[in-house]
Structure 1
Amino acid sequence: MTPQSASVEAGRGLLPQDLRAWLEQHADALDDGSLDAATVLPRLAAAGVFRQGVPEARGGLPGTDIGDAIEAVSQVAELSVASAFVAWGQRVFIEYLLRSPNTALADAWLAPLLGGEQAGATALSNAMKFLSGIESLQIGAREAEDGQWVLDGRMPWVTNLRVQGFLVAAAVTAPDGTPAVVALPHDIAGLVRSPDLSLLALQSSNTAALDVRGVRIGPEWLIHPDAREYLPQARPAFAGLQCGLSIGLARRALLAAAQAGQGQASRGILGAPLEALRAQVGALSDSLIEGVRNGRFVAEPWALFEIRIALADAANQAVQLELQASGGAAYLRPAGAGFARRWREAAFLPIVTPSLVQLKTELAKRQARLAAGAAA
């Protein structure tokens, strides 16, 4: 079994047993927010989750690549999507620095990010939608007399904004009109964090809004001067790691369905759909990792969108099969607590930015362009 296809069903993987046990024990508390969100990041860091796929020379684990990073997020999501959401944000921010020409910024922050002392938050979902023409950038910059940029705007939904300290990646319209990508530290003047958003699930994920009120930055905080050049290169890792949430949830729900049904579900009427969906998730996961590894999705982002949609749909189907296999037990407390959490987690997957509706809209536009070209 290759690293990218390992799962909780096989009883092996990239996560140490102490982390797996901790996530299993606290999954419900991490979902409803009764466990302090500050506990998540250090646990994941101590297990080496963020070092997967980082070059050894930059503090990463030898012999690993981006596929291992996606698999690590997937295995966290098998046990807690709230924790996987944090892992996604942290690892994506690390990826941004690895791909930045601003080596001084990366050199200054990679070590505390990899070690979990500093949180990394990605507010570039807006920028990803900007690339596709879905919406405009939400932060503008003007140039001050001393040459610094002065930023104003808002980031309405950002995860991993750990109150103990964070860096957030944001896309801004530069004074010359070019979209740029910058990093903002939590304690910079004018950056205001809201209280945690009241989410239906995934509460221990430090998800909040940020107001940007006259924030002044110099070139040392520039991740890349041109988002149009930078983001298409970073998007496969951004979306690929995000797909780990769907992969992990689908795996765990399918396992729970098989265990709940035992002979009835595994060999009876649910046996065939369970096996078919399990094979589909495995094939999609392998295609995802192969495409991110070989760079295919840089030139063909629509193929990545299709996989993201299919994986979110598969996770929702898996939860439905778990409900059918469990029957009334899934609706009883406390026996059905795990199912109820996975039901809420599955509801998040279609709306995490870019949402499935936005992705399907982009695919429909592409089909319309291809049809118009064929007809011309």
Structure 2
Amino acid sequence: MAIDTKRLQAIIDEKLKPVVKKVDEQAFYAEDYIIALGEAGFFDSTTKDEATILQDEAFVVLETAKVCMTTAFCVWCHLAALTYIRKSSNHYLRTALLPKLENGELLGATGLSNPMKFYSGLEKLHLSAEKVEGGYVINGILPAVSNLGKRHYFGAIASVGEQEVMVLVSTQTKGLELKEKVGFIGVNGSATYTCKFDHVFIPQEQVIAELAGAFCDVIRPTFIYYQVPLGAGVISAAAEGIEKVKAKQNGCNEHLQVQAGKLYDNYDRIMNELYVQAKNVSLKSIVETRLQAVQDTLEAVQANMLHNGAAGYVAGSVASRKLREAYFFANLTPTVRHLEKLKVKL
């Protein structure tokens, strides 16, 4: 790993920890934190091989998720967008936009929840495109795209006849209407919007891949890889929460079946798998890791609630926030049921 851990922790302490409750309770979007990560070079890929990029950026997601998984999810959204461009053959995107996305000048989002489900036979594709001179015109609605704002770009896939095209969309594009979605029990501060495309023109220079289906096969393992540390961070935080209350009620918590030691063992196993898989990420192995990470995360937050007792049920408690974060992790695309289907097919 080639990452400045002290610098990362300093940014977390300065930009994230003070706003965690605001993120959870007031749907505050910690945009400044993600920008600071970019400015500090944590998304810079210019001098790293692919394995180091994966390991370093997964570590950023992990450390963020220990404090606030909602914001870590936003970091994951940004990393997904980086992945699209890094693996695209589009010279303009790689030379003109990628550096700005890596240095925090611009931020990115995924936009592929619906297409990932489409390619697994779970949903119909929500966007359609028409090939025109100089690019594509896109219509349709994406129900939820997270990590959006004024300086943001996101990936989108639309049907074009019998195939699909993948493009990069600026939130400032004419004909694109964004409507904020809030009221979730978790991840309120994820800057999530419904995106309505009304004859949105996307120039050819913003086409990520003409053959979107084949391109998704390329990016899917990395897409899922970056999700795993979301759960690992929550597991670590839950284990820490259990240790903090071990003396509660004269140490009675020692009789509970799941203790912090088991959570740390699960955490270590997940991190070791991520380290190994970074050198050659395969869809089959990362799907299995991601699926197990969900089960481990759910076990961890439930144990943390039991160890905290009544204090965990107080509104605003860390234990209850971690519980809600874990359920979001389980339902993040690919969801548990989606992962189970993928596992059978692989």
Q: What is the match of residue 234 of structure 2?
A: 249
Q: 2:325: which partner in 1?
A: 345
C-alpha contact 2:2 2:52 (8 A) present in aligned 1: no
In the TM superposition, 1:320-359 aligns within 5 A as 320-332=302-314, 337-359=317-339
Cα distance in 1 between the residues matched to 2:63 and 2:91: 31
RMSD: 2.8
Name stretches of at least 5 consecutive residues in structure 1 with no aligned partner.
5-11, 367-376
Name 1:72's counterpart in structure 2. Answer: 60
* SS class of match (2:269): helix
Q: For 2:274, which of 288, 294, 306 is the aligned residue?
A: 288
Q: Quick one: distance in 2 between partners of 1:223 and 1:101?
A: 7
Listed one character per residue, the Cα deviations across residues 114-150 of structure 1 (whole Å, up to 9, x for unaligned) are: 2222221111122222332222322111233x35321
Alignment match of 1:221 (pick from 197, 203, 206):
206
Query: Residue 193 of structure 1 corresponds to which residue in structure 2?
Result: 178
* TM-score computed with the length of structure 2 as normaliser: 0.90
Please say if residues 3 and 71 of structure 1, whose CA atoms lie closer than 8 Å, have aligned partners that are also in contact: no
Q: Identical aligned pairs, as a percentage?
A: 25
Query: Any idea what SS the aligned residue of 1:50 has?
Result: coil
Cα distance in 1, alignment partners of residues 57 and 172 from structure 2:
29
In 1, are the aligned partners of 2:11 and 2:33 still within 8 Å (CA)?
Answer: no
State yes or no: 1:25 paired with 2:7: no
How many Å separate the matches in 2 of 1:223 and 1:21? 35
Provide the C-alpha distance between the structure 1 equivalents of 2:252 and 2:36, rounded to a whole number of angstroms.
35
Residue in structure 2 matched with residue 9 of structure 1 by the alignment: none
Letter in 1 for 2:242: A
Give the one of 170, 173, 184 matched to 2:156.
Answer: 170
Question: Which residue identity does 1:181 align to in structure 2?
Answer: M
Taking the aligned partners of 1:96 and 1:63, their CA distance within structure 2 comes to: 16
So what's the TM-score if we normalise by structure 1? Answer: 0.83
Q: Which amino acid aligns with 1:310?
A: Q
Residue by residue, what CA displacement relative to the aligned partner does 1:238-274 show, whole Å, maximum 9, x if unpaired? 1111112111111111111112114976993348643
Q: Give the 3-state SS of the residue equivalent to 1:101 in structure 2.
A: coil
Distance 1:38 1:66, change over 3 A: closer
Q: Distance in 2 between matches of 1:99 and 1:236?
A: 12
**Does the alignment pair 1:120 with 2:108?**
yes
Change in Cα spacing, 1:178 to 1:47, as seen in structure 2 (3 Å) is same
Pick closer, same or farther for the CA change 1:167–1:272 going to 2, 3 Å: closer
The reply on whether 1:160 has 2:142 as its aligned counterpart is no
Asked if the contact 2:12–2:33 (Cα under 8 Å) also holds between the matched residues in 1, the reply is: no
CA 266–78 in structure 1, closer or farther in 2 if over 3 Å, else same: farther
Report the Cα distance in structure 1 between the residues aligned to 2:252 and 2:220, rounded to whole angstroms: 38
Instruction: Report deviation, 1:104.
Output: 1.1
Q: Is the 8 A contact 1:302 1:363 kept in 2?
A: yes
Identify unmatched segments of 5+ residues in structure 2: none
The number of residues matched between the two structures is 345
Q: Which amino acid aligns with 1:211?
A: K
